[in-house]
Amino acid sequence: MTGIYVHIPFCRQRCHYCDFYSQTDSSLIEPYMTALFNQISAFEPIDVDTIYFGGGTPSLLDSKQLALLIGALNNRFRVKSDAEITLEANPESTTLAKLADYRLAGVNRLSLGIQSLNDLTLGNIGRIHDRRVAIRALEYATAIYDNISVDVMLALPGENTDDVDRTLESILEYDIEHISAYILKREPHTYFAELYREEYIDDDIIADIYMHVVDVLAANGFSQYEISNFARSGYRSRHNLKYWNCEEYIGIGAGAYSAIACERYHIEGDTRKYLKDFMRLSGDSKHAMVSDGPVDWTDYFILRLRTTEGLSLNKLKQMFDFTVPENMKRLFTIYEEQGYINVYDNDVHLTRKGFLVSNEILSELLLAAEL
């Protein structure tokens, strides 16, 4: 089964921390829709069991536009009757009527970008909603959907464990099935990186906040299944699991990524170029898709170690004919002694402590494989 990701790159305002491709010229939405339809029509029919509308802010689309997009996907692909269809929404662009219409169009999972319920913090990171608007969006969402994910950001400027607690307590008053809790990073070339040129929060405080959130969510019935993702039983993101399992997915839209037949592709993050490439039917599903090379053992290695299930070295050997070298095995032993990983037979797992420094650990492990 294949997953489909559709990138909707439009936002009312770009958040300070965001390094995803997006833009604020809403006059391009209508021609962009036409280009999306043309790209969709160029694919061969295949079996699909997840669709994910990400952004940007997909909830800027009106219900008719979204219904037409879902209709085009159903007409081109063999979308399963129980497919998971997710739409990302921002609180300020949701209304009760719009969310109800999205549900009628086929959306059965809503991902709501709340990030924080502290008005000062929201302003510091460039969000354009406040606590009142976020709570209203939660009320709307829970009135219509029974599969809701909420995004929360951790380690924000001026934030401490008590601030995070207040946000989580308010969110958990609602019937939420999934929470994504991301530690904020200063991505290069973002406005946030310009505002905060030096570290603005101590690493020990970040660790305390993260460990506390894991404990609070566990106590409320959320099981951690990836570094930043927590779900009640039966509500893991089926689409995102495709990424972490190195399964096939198709990316549609400017800035979208794909993994098709063990090859990775991307479309340049440039809306005007995308319009130029796809405003006419090409008859070629890979038109304007840039090859990023084959899916290899490093992809599987990195992505699986982000999950709580961890990495099976047997599967790594079976899928990519890769045998772990002695240098990497020695690092496994060192990291296990330091409490960053657990090794059971041929399975490797990062611990909660390891998740906090996963980028450093993975970089060292991959370097060891090259020596």
Per residue in 277-303, pLDDT (tens digit) is 998 877 788 888 999 999 999 999 999
pLDDT in tens, 245-284: 999 999 999 999 999 999 999 999 999 999 999 988 777 8
pLDDT at residue 345 above 90? no
pLDDT of 186 reads 80
pLDDT of 280 reads 83
Highest mean pLDDT: which range of 140-154, 155-169, 177-191? 140-154
Buried b (16+ CB within 10 A) or exposed e, 30-50: eebbebbbbbbebbeebebbb
Percentage of the chain beyond pLDDT 70 is 99
Q: What is the mean pLDDT of the chain?
A: 94
pLDDT at residue 348 above 90? yes
Maximum CA pair distance of the chain? Answer: 59
pLDDT in tens, 49-78: 999 999 999 999 999 999 999 999 999 999
Model confidence at 202, in pLDDT bands (50, 70, 90)? confident
Percentage of the chain beyond pLDDT 90 is 86
Buried b (16+ CB within 10 A) or exposed e, 230-269: bbbeebbbbbbbbbbebebbbbbbbbbbbbbeeebbebeb
pLDDT at residue 4 above 80? yes
Mean of pLDDT values over 309-336: 95
pLDDT of 33 reads 97
Give whole-number Cα distances, 272 to 6, 149, 261, 327, in Å.
Answer: 17, 32, 28, 47
pLDDT at residue 365 above 80? yes
Mean of pLDDT values over 224-233: 98
Structure tokens at 106: 């086929």
Helix (H) / strand (E) element for 306: namely: none
Mean of pLDDT values over 131-149: 98
Give whole-number Cα distances, 47 to 74, 80, 243, in Å.
Answer: 10, 7, 17
pLDDT of 321 reads 95
Q: How crowded is residue 293: how many other Cβ atoms within 10 Å of its Cβ?
A: 9
Residues 310 and 295: their CA atoms lie apart, in Å, by 18
Give whole-number Cα distances, 136 to 93, 95, 142, in Å.
Answer: 11, 9, 10
Residues 144 and 96: their CA atoms lie apart, in Å, by 8
pLDDT of 196 reads 78
Contact predicate 217/224, CB 8 Å: yes
